[in-house]
Structure 1
Amino acid sequence: MKNKYDAIKSIKEIKRNKYNLIRNSNSSLIHEKIKSNVKSALNILLNKYHDEGKYIGIYWPLKGEVDIRFIKEINNQKVALPSSSKTKGITYHHWSNNQLEIDSNSIPAPIGEEAINPNNISILFVPAIAIDQEGYRLGYGGGYFDRLRQKDLWFSIPSFVVISNNCISKKPLPRERWDVPFNGWISEKGLHQIEATK
């Protein structure tokens, strides 16, 4: 008989497969609309949360994810990219013009740069396979962002998922005790901030 943990894990896997198919069917038009909304949301969020000289944490896009690397080109914005390590979890590093290296999950990352203290990051943008109305994200199953955001300093950084509207679940997604909600999302319908986490 499956224990509760295994049951949640297998439900997450089913949801992951379902939303991956939905996400991969999105047109480039949807991606372009989301990118445009990320640009608009960035102005709102920078005014609300950003301190001069701090970083914005973004991500290197994988298949199906919206490419928001253009943020690096906006007003010489200081941008941080994550590096994931199976032993150390996620660290964020300054994205300079130096060559990126491949991290332990085969994602390009500025591994050679020093890790950034969370006090120096004002906003995080994170990809997801799905998110629910309460801000609980369904990722790839590695638990990297949940482990990171369980730490108070990281949890205090306003964090938003970049996602298409068809991957926002109306029903609560399966969650485990270590899952941590996000502050909202940006989709082709715009910026949505969750009241409880503001």
Structure 2
Amino acid sequence: MAEILLSGKRHLALPTLLRGKMVDKKRLRKELLQARKSLSEQEWDNKSQAICEALNQYLDMSSVVSEGGTILSYFYFRSEPSLDPLFNLSVYSWGVPRCVENELSWHFWKPGDALTKGGFGIREPLPSAPICSPEAVDLILVPAVACDSRGYRLGYGGGFYDRLFAQPQWRRISKIGIVFDLALVSELPTDAWDVPLDGVCTDQRLIINSDQLSKYGRQGE
């Protein structure tokens, strides 16, 4: 993975639980969620804006998504980074998920379209919104509790994205994890079924793998 710094810093945030020992995912998830929750509203907003600006720059300079391409994103909850401003980039088509039993159903959505509240209280498109098939998708922006410098992701434990990426038609799509820099660690505990992401974007850095780097205009500089 190649790292493109956004703030001049070159350290990785290491939560207390990761210093000197491997830990289980449940304990790590609890600590990182608490750290994220402790951000002030202003800090949360500033960091979210920094992530959106970095992603906007990446989209401008990368050939991963061409004009008119489709990007899957999410509506934030539990103090996740907000990517809402990106939906105003009308040169792309956007898809967002609905939770349908134990799976994610993806639907095209644009600002002004109707929304409803899902089972977790997350904003969701209406069931009648047009379905977004994997063949139409160029990039997935993936929410996470944490990511590591190898591209592995720690989720909430529900397995929604694990099940999604277990399917070959979804696994082939470029995937960038979205976390605040406080949740970027050097190495997460992993399971055999974990699928590494192609990149990670935080409020301080963008990390992308070599295949993605070849499509990035700055070549990592």
Asked if these proteins are the same fold (TM beyond 0.5), I'd say yes
What residue is the counterpart of 1:22 in the other structure?
Answer: 35
What residue in structure 1 maps to residue 56 of structure 2?
42
TM-score (norm 2): 0.76
Which of 134, 153, 157 is residue 118 of structure 1 equivalent to? 134
Amino acid at match of 2:75: W
Q: TM-score, normalised by structure 1?
A: 0.83
User: How many angstroms apart in 2 are the aligned matches of 1:36 and 1:169?
Assistant: 19
Q: Identity, % of aligned pairs?
A: 25
Calculate the aligned-residue CA RMSD, in Å.
2.2
1:81 aligns to 2:96 (yes or no): yes
Higher RCO (CA 8 Å, separation ≥ 6 residues): 2
The offset of 1:30, in angstroms, is: 5.5
The one-letter amino acid of 2:117's match is I
Query: Once the 2 structures are TM-superposed, how far is the Cα of residue 11 of structure 1 from its aligned partner?
Result: 1.7
1:66 aligns with 2:66: no
Q: Which secondary structure does the structure 1 equivalent of 2:63 belong to?
A: helix
Quick one: which of 91, 98, 107 aligns to 1:93? 107
Q: Give how far 1:34 is off.
A: 4.2
Deviations 1:17-57 (A, max 9, x none): 01111111234335424423433333323532113333211
Q: For this pair of structures, how many residues does the alignment match?
A: 187
Superposition misfits of 4+ residues, deviation over 6 angstroms: none
Say which is worse superposed, 152-161 or 73-82, in terms of deviation. 73-82
Matching residue's letter, 2:98: S
Other-structure match for 1:195? 210
Whether contact under 8 Å (1:56, 1:121) holds in the other structure is yes
Q: Evaluate the alpha carbon distance shift between residue 40 and residue 12 of structure 1 in structure 2; reply closer, same or farther with a 3 A threshold.
A: closer
Q: What are the ranges of 5 or more consecutive residues in structure 1 without an aligned counterpart?
A: 1-9
